[in-house]
Structure 1
Amino acid sequence: MPTAPHPQNTDELFQALQENDQLPYGRTRTVAAEELVDAAEQFAEPGPLAYALFELQEAYTYGSEPRKSPVVFARLLNLFDEQPDVFDERMRHMLFWRFKWVANALRALPEVPLTGLRQWLTEMRDRYVKADLDLQPYYGQAYQLAAHLGEDTSLAYELWAGRTRTRLSDCEACEICERALYHLGTGDDERALRTWEPVLAGKDSCQEEPARSVSYALLPLLRTGRTDRARELHLAGYRACRRNPSMAGEVGRHLEFCALTGNEARGLELLAENRNLFDEVDSPLDLLDFLTGAEVLLQRVELLGHGELPAAGYAGRTWTVAGLRAEARGRADDLAARFDARNGTTAHADRRSARLGRIPLLETLELTLRTRGLDDASPAAPVAEPIARTTALPDSLPELILQARALDQQGHPDAHACWARLRTLVAARDYAHPDDPAVGPLVQLRADLLAEEASRAGERDEFADAAALHEEAAALYDDAGEPGHAAVSRACALLATAEIPGQGVDRDEAKTAALTSAHASMVRLHEETPDLAPFQEARLMRLKATALGLRLQTSRSDEHVAPVLAETDVLYAFATRHDLVGQLSGAVLLRASTYAISGDLPAAVTEIDALLDQLKAHGPAWHLPRTLGLRGRLQLGLRDAQAAHADLTEALRLAADWPADAIDTARLHSDLAEACMHLGRPDEALRHLTRSAEVELRRGSRTDAYCAYSNAAQLSLDLGRVEDCIALLDSLLAEPDVTAGELDDRLLAQLRLTRARALHTGEDLKAATAEFVTLAAESAGWDDDPGSHAMIAAETAVLLGESGEFGRAREAADQALAAHARAPRFDQLSNCLRELARLQAQQQGPDGLADARAFLVDAGRVADEARAAEYEAHGRSLDTALAYEHGRVNAYAGEHEDALAALEKALALLGDPGREDDRVGEWAECVRFAGAVEGLYLERPAPALTRLDAAVSRLTALGHTEETEPLISLAARHRHPPTRAIDDEHALTGRSAPTATTHVTPVFRQDSSKGASIRDALA
């Protein structure tokens, strides 16, 4: 693979080594390290070669290539023996530290004889003694060899653990893990977990910790009843080791954890995400650990009867669960046998047997926000047909046909089960149509099936398909001599055609015109079709009213309200006269929706209340959930969240009595989530959002599902459930239609954007910045949406600033400014620029002042533009925020007079606070900051005290006592100054300094508009 140019001198070599050290472990870094060793050999100085060899050994060690690590170390050791003066104190420390790396590598290779392992430990001991080094690290390796062999480790453990740690001991986190594993081996879960706690709590960490400890602690946590802790650590720990060949064993234990907690589907998902490990793990010991964990999972899936499911395994062929399990078992058994043959014990076979013999510790543990079962893991699984709950399917074919038609005339949800059964029967090669005049000819039944299929397509918003199917059905009805049915199908085709989304900026106008035309055509169709049955005529009336209702919903024009109400009145009167309760209910729903869309929510509620009384008395019962759902949305519009919650909850309860697709339960869950948010119950809202998404997925509405999941991810992030958010998004981003590029690019961007923010919140700045940089580059091509690019580029700039990459941050900020010029985003750009100024001044002090001030100049221009556009900022004004930031930037750079002047300006812009002023916290912080600069840094405590005391008095008189606390504390410091020199960054940043962070508006969010939709009234 192509790499960087060959270093021409040692300075270039060291620069290349430093750059390579910043890369993640893997083949790219390893190949570069190999080439740098070749380059170092051209120089006469041995020092650069030694450094290059150290880099190469590290790449092999953490790149899971244990066979090569000892070879490189042998070269280093020879170089040390021949030219010890080349090794300074740091290099000498690294050399003796890495004796342990070699010991670990040799243990991982079954081809290395046991005598070789022991000889290496003897070599290590002799070298340590000769160098006058303490032997605690040696005894640590001796203990680990005993544990590897399966010998009695008691003495070896005491010889190691009882000794004082030295500079060459393994890091504290690694040693804690080894001590905990010893206690785990004795069966003492509680003591192991107590030992592990500093690492699991994040107090001690290193390259592999806490991810390694987490993977081992998962099952003990479950066995001791700490399920929530196990769930939390699984999410965080898995992310730290996924796809990493040097942590394949850890991944295997996470797979095992999924298998033993009822999360087999998630386990298969994680296995697919780590497919690379089957081929990239060069360490036999790590591979054995990984394969055993994978086999535990695959075994569990097969035992549950899903051995035919696809599974991700070795490259080059397609695997099923059963096939991959057999392959993994054979390879793992062979590895275990090789280790046991080398070691002269049965330890590895016994450990494998123990892991494979474990039974599930929990029947189910909800690991992620996206609950999936093995039935969901089947690719392209058809949506399950709804089960009729109230009407049994007749055995007789004629009776089945007649029942399907009778139920369809009523709009009964159980009709679909009848049609589904008939569709299967008619498709059979031996189908014989009944010779029964009551049933009619086969062509009529085929028309019925086409019409039902068309209705289903319309419910999925596949309007073009629906229109074509309705037209085809109409033609068949003509052939069958059923003009009434043909007229209804043609009216449905007209409506579906009018709903096909248009293109361009005038698409709403075009749709309005199309619906007007469709209504006129329906009127003519109605007039030209004689001898309609009452149910057919009512359907035509309903379709005409629906066309006008959709026109109103599209245009929002007051002049379109009266025609809808007039049509619904006609429908209502006709349905009442012919006792068509379903159409009567539909008329009221249309009328209520019309009132809601026109803004008269109380009138809509009055209509709905009357309808609910009628439905409870006369039916149809299946309209109750839909009607309650509409009432709940209306209550949300009236800001009565409690009433909305009650209606929507009851709607969901009643929906359970009907087939799964009869009621739009996804919408009910989504609306309930909104009600819960208004009631301050975000955790409940999160559950409803995920359930909404699950329903959408089951019925094949994948875009709607991803939108709901996107909202759930954002909410989980807002709730501080960072790992939940990341795990959910990782799962979605691994979906086949996402990886194949079939998802809307803006929705995909929203998912990735939320994930990047979650990574940032989770303090994974490197990963977050990389994703933001990629998103910024991609969004630069969104010519139709420069505002979103401006916001993404602004947030990218801030993350680059946090990483200290101010050159790249400046470039990203310039991109944001250019996009902002086309689609202004005043708040976001001002926030970004001020934050960059603060970061640069804070990190670079006086050296960064000029560039920091340049950012503030740009922020000033943005504020001027906002003022000229009469833009009202969200929260504090941009001018006040800018003045405050000038104060902080100058303070960080040591320009305290300028800082004080800027803060005085900010206070003048804020004005004196009032009793109900929501800016009082900002004002108090500005006073505190000015008092700190004046009293501490300019050493003028008297005026500073005057300022602070006056502010405390004013705030106290206004009843804002909480805001006085930091001011009183600072005043006390002025009165009793410390004797040491002042170096107090807290005095600059403060308790709650109004810093600016950039949060861009989501690129793609699910519509959460309140009130009604005309489509809610369709049956």
Structure 2
Amino acid sequence: MPTISLPQNTDELYEALTANDQRPYGRTRTVTAEELVDAAEQFDDPAALVHALLELQEAYTYGSEPRKSPVVFARLLNLFDEQPDLFDDRLRHLLFWRFKWVANALLALPEVPLAGLRQWLGEMRDRYTAAGLDLQPYYGQAYQLAAHLGEDTSLAYELWAGRTRGRLSDCEACEICERARFHLAAGDDERALRTWEPVLQGEDSCQEEPARSVSYALLPLLRTGGADRARELHLAGYRACRRNPSMSPEVGRHLEFCALTGNEARGLELLAENRNLFEEVDSPREQLDFLTGVEVLLRRVAALGRGELPTAGYAGRTWTVAELHTEVRGRADDLAARFDARNGTTAHADRRRARLERAPLLDALELTLRTRSLDDVSEPLAPAAVPTARTVSPVPESLPELIARARDLGDQGHPDADACWARLRTLVAARDYTHPEIETVGTLVRLRADLLNEEAERAWAKDDHAVAVELFEEAAGLYEDAGLPGRTVLCRAGAAVAAAELLAEKRPGADEDEAAVVAARVVALTDAHATVVRLHEEANGLAPELEARLLRLRATSAGLRLQTSPGAEHAAAATAEVDLLHTFAVRHDVATQISGARLLRASTHALTGDLPAAVAEIDALLDLLRAQGPAWHLPRTLGLRGRIQLGLRDAQTAHADLTEALRLAADWPARTVDRGRLHGDLAEASMHLGRPEEALRHLTRAAEFQLREDERIDGFCSYSNAAQLSLDLGRIEDCIALLDSVLAEPDVTKGELDDRLTAQLRLTRARALHAGGDLKAATAEFAALAAESAGWDDDPGSHAMIAAETAMLLAESGEFGPAHDALGQALAAHAKAPNYENVSNGLREVARLQAQQQGTDGLDDALALLADAARLAEEARAAGHQAHGRSLDTALSYEHGRVHAYVGAYEESLAALEKTLGLLGEPGPEDERIAEWAEAVRLTGVVEGIYLKRTAAALTRLDAAIRHLTALDRPEERAPLTELAARLRDE
């Protein structure tokens, strides 16, 4: 079945060929090209057939199908021989250029005899000579054949590289790569890198460059001490070749780079991302290069003893590293043997062996912001094992001892209870479990209740309140059956508070009032508090430890209510409950609850706004904990102190407290303290201290801990913040690599993550792509997001923002029709939920770009867009909207100045710019608009002095502004004005 609507005439054929040329290389483009050749053959127009065949050969060449490319070229060559007049200068140039494509295609096929390769080169030489063409391209192909065969390439290299380049020579970037590889093969890393420098710097490029050169330069850079440069180039270079069948060898070299720098886990991640290459690469030579890179990675992982890890491989089955390694090794060995048999050398087997036997060049090189180890490869992530400075008692082997230790530690709230409960959970779940018939151990029912209660507390700690309620209720029933009323009461109280928190999580719907929802939350928490108080009052003979825990639940429910609705009444109730808990805990010497009461008291002070009192309470508690313990409360207490210091705007002290909290947390199991929260708070403190790079590290660490603890939403939010910060810092490739990794998580790919959070991750990635100069990819992502967000009926404001940004990118690409359509969507969404600044920015920017790119032809459309922006500014004034950045009115008049300047209407431009300066006014020393004002002065000076030739007036304006900026001590803003004034005086 055709993939396209077949053209009915040659005009439609040419339109279809143009459209296909815009598609990425791959099966869709190739199949379409095949269909268009079939269609062209139906028309009595051999010129149309020539164009269709050229498109098909290109699709085969860059779609990694070398067996088919020479066949198509043979048809073109026959047409040229029979009807040379069909080929104008451009088509003739393309035909002779593609002799090189065929030479490369034949080289890639081991079934083509060596004599056939030499015969084709002879044909190329004869054709070039007969046509009067320079032979440098022929000698280039002769050199590549010599290198492929493993012969001495010195003479072939000189015959090629020593000749002057001509019109049919490979592009400068490709030739630089070949010359650098010659030096690399000779063992001269330094000279190879010097040769590569123009390409690595981006001075020379083409469709495959610099990505191809980057992949070869990675290991020489490591060997010569350029690890940081290699890291940067890996990120940018890999993105340019991933999933591309025609660049599978480059992907293989990036996998090899990961394997040799201690980044085996990233290598497996990239292998999964490129699993399509196992099936889509039809070139034996490219298969061999790709599979050898894959084998380097798999061999390294297996050598580390992790051959059992899952990995992506050939379709149709699941693979472990060890299994895929065996499969890949067999296939690659066979390919190398076939090439060597054809060539009569051992070059390919020798090169493979050299790559496979390379030792790692670095033990560890941090390639991305998301550093992962092989332990992270299996899902779900297990909590990280943290080295501890304290002595941890081993989990008892004896089942009675294990049960007794778990209960004892659990009642103390000791973190080491976790390991005991985990061991018990595994034993009890086994089919052959036999419960010990010992009176001190109790019944199996009691043990199952203990396990359910512990699981409920873990769910509650993760804010999984629905699960916690269910588990607490089930545990309460079992405790009741076991004849333990005190623990029954405690579980039912826990269920009541968790259920209230579940109700408190409810967010207002579209037709609900926020205040009403808050009131409902307060009612739920009040009822929960009353329930816990009733259960406490009705309970008799509670052990002090259990009664203290019940009092803790009373204080907790009162504190949650205060947190939901701060007020004097709720504050007094919370304080009374905390005092009750503290008094009881001190009387009965329940150390865990003494500490808990003082933490709750500090939190109550903080909630009521008395931060100094909160700090004083925490300081007293820290003294107590350091003297008497429990020691595991120290990191949590220091963490709270750090957060309060952030509230007091003492970032330095907060940073010190949080750093110490993290240091102490390393001594305890993961659930003891929320290390993800500590890292997140440290990121905030670092930002306040002007240390964004440190903040970035803490954000990524926060995300890692949160994902390990199955706090998925928090983890993805932390990664989202890290990505945005890396983009703000100009670490564009880091941002993209991080988001590529995060967006490949199963939560995202299976659609299980909140769709708005996924959209935010994609939006940041699209902005990073734009910042990195990949306009095409950025525009495609923005357009997809705009289409998806159009269905967000509950959030039209976000759709307005996305549609406006999409319009700007479309306009940047010159697609003004689609840009105007996107602005129409933005305006429609703005009508539902005002988004003045984003939509106004979009209107003004598209107007500017249209005037800049189309001149007077685009003026009417540009002015119409500015008129829409003016209406938005009027609406904003009427609504009392305060702009967060530039004033909408000054931004609009400034854009009028630029638009009119682009079309040569300089009087109108000057009038608009003078209006802008009037609206801005002369800035003061603390005015945030200084830079905006200085730029408006500069542009006004350009229009007035250069285009309108009113030099004296322009200089008067500029000199006054320069004096003002000098007085304000703003050299950065002054410099462009000084430069312009000097230029005007010179002219």
Q: TM-score range by the shorter chain?
A: over 0.9
Alpha-carbon offset, residue 895 of structure 1:
1.2
SS in 2 for 1:32: helix
Query: What is the distance in 2 between the residues matched to 1:593 and 1:776?
Result: 43
Structure 1, unaligned runs of 5 or more: 978-1019
Change in 2 beyond 3 A, CA 1:183/1:594: same
Distance, in Å, in 2 between the alignment partners of 1:254 and 1:955 is 51
The one-letter code matched in structure 2 to 1:763 is G
Residues 385 and 955 of structure 1, relative CA distance in 2, 3 Å threshold: closer
Confirm or deny: 8 A CA contact 2:370 2:738 kept in the other structure: yes
Q: CA deviation at 1:295?
A: 1.2
Q: Distance in 1 between matches of 2:742 and 2:472?
A: 35
Distance (Å, rounded) in 2 between the aligned partners of 1:918 and 1:431: 71
Q: TM-score w.r.t. structure 2 length?
A: 0.97
- Give 2:751's aligned residue: 741
> Aligned to 2:631, what secondary structure does the other structure show?
coil
TM-superposed CA distance for 1:957, in Å, is 4.7
The within-5 A match list for 1:887-966 is 887-960=897-970, 962-966=972-976
* Aligned counterparts, 1:434-833, within 5 A: 434-500=436-502, 501-502=505-506, 504=509, 505=512, 506-833=516-843
Contact 2:383 / 2:670 at 8 angstroms: preserved in 1?
Answer: no
Query: 1-side partners of 2:593 and 2:805: how far apart?
Result: 53
- 1:385, 1:417 within 8 Å by CA — same for their partners in 2? no
- Rounded to whole Å, the distance in 1 between the matches of 2:729 and 2:785 is 24
Taking structure 1 as reference, are residues 389 and 477 closer, same or farther at Cα in structure 2, changes over 3 Å only? farther
C-alpha separation in 2, matches of 1:558 and 1:882? 49
Matched ranges for 1:5-16 at <5 A? 5-16=5-16
Which residue matches 1:89? Answer: 89
Distance 1:174 1:375, change over 3 A: same
Q: Displacement, 1:389?
A: 4.7
Q: Where does residue 431 of structure 1 map in the other structure?
A: 433
Helix, strand or coil at the partner of 2:94 = helix
| Alignment match, 1:155 | 155
Preserved CA contact (<8 Å) 2:384 2:670: no
Q: Distance in 1 between matches of 2:626 and 2:379?
A: 42
The CA deviation at 1:8 is 3.4
Judged with a 3 Å threshold, the aligned counterparts in structure 2 of structure 1 residues 421 and 345 are, in CA distance, closer, same or farther, namely: same
Which deviations, in whole Å up to 9, do the C-alpha atoms of 1:101-120 show, x marking residues without a partner? 11000000111111110001
**Alpha-carbon contact 2:292-2:332 (below 8 Å) kept:** yes
After superposition, the C-alpha distances for 1:873-910 in whole angstroms (9 at most, x for unaligned) are 12331111111111001111111111111111111111
Aligned-pair Cα RMSD in Å: 1.7
Q: Is the 8 A contact 1:17 1:52 kept in 2?
A: yes
| CA deviation string 1:512-557 (max 9, x = no partner) | 2111101101111001110011111111110011001111112234
8 Å Cα contact 1:502/1:510 also seen in 2: no
For residues 393 and 280 of structure 1, the distance between their equivalents in structure 2, rounded to whole angstroms, comes to 52
Residue equivalent to 1:1015: none
Q: Counterpart in 2 of 1:181? A: 181
**What is aligned with 2:860?**
850
1:913-954 superposed Cα distances (whole Å, 9 cap, x missing partner): 334433233223222222221222223323323333333344
What residue is the counterpart of 2:204 in the other structure?
204
Cα deviation, residue 33, structure 1 = 1.8
Aligned to 2:336: 336
Task: Please tell me whether the aligned partners of residues 193 and 217 of structure 1 are also in contact (alpha carbons under 8 angstroms).
Answer: yes
Aligned residue number for residue 981 of structure 1: none
Partner of 2:260: 260
CA separation of 1:368 and 1:958: change in aligned 2, threshold 3 A: closer
What is aligned with 2:26?
26
Q: Deviations over 1:286-309 (max 9, x none)?
A: 011111111111111222222222
Shift of 1:74: 1.1
Q: Deviations over 1:565-587 (max 9, x none)?
A: 11001111111111112101111
Deviation for aligned residue 1:35: 2.2
Distance 1:961 1:701 in 2: 48
2:422 equivalent in structure 1: 420
Secondary structure in 1 matching 2:881: coil
Residue 260 (structure 2) pairs with residue 276 (structure 1) = no
Residues 53 and 72 of structure 2 are in contact (CA less than 8 Å); yes or no, is this contact kept in structure 1?
yes
Q: Tell me how far apart the structure 2 counterparts of residues 681 and 48 of structure 1 sit (CA, whole Å).
A: 62
Deviations 1:133-186 (A, max 9, x none): 121111110000000011111111111111111111111111111111111111
The Cα shift of 1:507 comes to 4.1
- SS of equivalent residue, structure 2 residue 335: helix
Larger mean Cα displacement after TM superposition, 329-338 or 968-977: 968-977
Are 1:717 and 1:725, in contact at CA under 8 Å, matched by a contact in 2? yes
Show the 5 A alignment for 1:290-301.
290-301=290-301
From 399, 402, 410, give the equivalent of 1:408. 410
Aligned partners of 2:381 and 2:708 also within 8 Å: no
- Which deviations, in whole Å up to 9, do the C-alpha atoms of 1:958-978 show, x marking residues without a partner? 55455343333333333332x
Which whole-Å CA distance do the structure 2 matches of 1:375 and 1:171 have between them?
A: 45
Q: Which amino acid aligns with 2:412?
A: Q
Of 922-931 and 262-271, the range deviating more from structure 2: 922-931
Report the CA distance shift for 1:586/1:755 in structure 2 as closer, same or farther (over 3 A): same
The answer to whether the Cα contact below 8 Å between 2:381 and 2:707 also exists between their aligned partners in 1 is no
Q: Between 372-381 and 538-547, report the one with greater CA deviation.
A: 372-381
Alignment of 1:886 with 2:886, yes or no, is no
User: What SS does the aligned partner of 2:933 have?
Assistant: helix
| Corresponding residue SS for 2:720 | helix
C-alpha change, 1:652 and 1:916, in structure 2 (3 Å) is closer
**2: CA distance between counterparts of 1:833 and 1:343?**
63
Percent sequence identity over aligned pairs: 75
Deviation at 1:385, TM superposition (A): 8.4
Contact 1:389–1:414 at 8 Å: present in 2 too?
no
Task: Quote the Cα distance in structure 1 between the aligned partners of 2:431 and 2:983.
Answer: 93
- Please tell me the residue identity of whatever aligns with 1:898: E
Q: 2:691 is matched by which residue type in structure 1?
A: R
Task: Report the CA distance between 1:839 and its aligned residue.
Answer: 0.8
What secondary structure sits across from 2:671 in the alignment? coil
1:31 deviation in Å? Answer: 1.8
One-letter amino acid of the structure 1 residue matched with residue 583 of structure 2: A
CA distance in 2 between counterparts of 1:458 and 1:93 reads 72
Q: Is the CA contact 1:538–1:574 (under 8 Å) kept in the aligned structure 2?
A: yes
Distance in 2 between the 1:960 and 1:669 partners? Answer: 37
CA gap 1:427/1:896 in 2 versus in 1, 3 angstroms:
same
Shift of 1:799: 0.8
Q: Is the 8 A contact 2:301 2:321 kept in 1?
A: yes
Contact 1:477 1:486 in 2 (8 A): yes
SS of 2:722's equivalent? helix
Alpha-carbon distance change, 966 to 311 in structure 1, aligned in 2, over 3 angstroms: closer
Correspondence 1:42 to 2:42: yes
Distance in 2, Cα, partners of 1:332 & 1:496: 58
* Aligned counterparts of 1:896 and 1:615: Cα–Cα separation in 2: 74
Q: What is the alpha-carbon distance in structure 1 between the residues aligned to residue 169 and residue 966 of structure 2?
A: 57
- SS of structure 2 residue aligned to 1:413: coil
2:129 corresponds in structure 1 to 129
Distance 1:827 1:662, change over 3 A: same
TM-score with structure 1 length normalisation?
A: 0.94
2:307/2:322 contact within 8 Å kept: yes
Distance 2:480 2:974 in 1: 84
Cα distance in 2 for partners of 1:8, 1:396 equals 84
Q: Shift of the alpha carbon at 1:511?
A: 2.4
Matched residue, 1:840 = 850
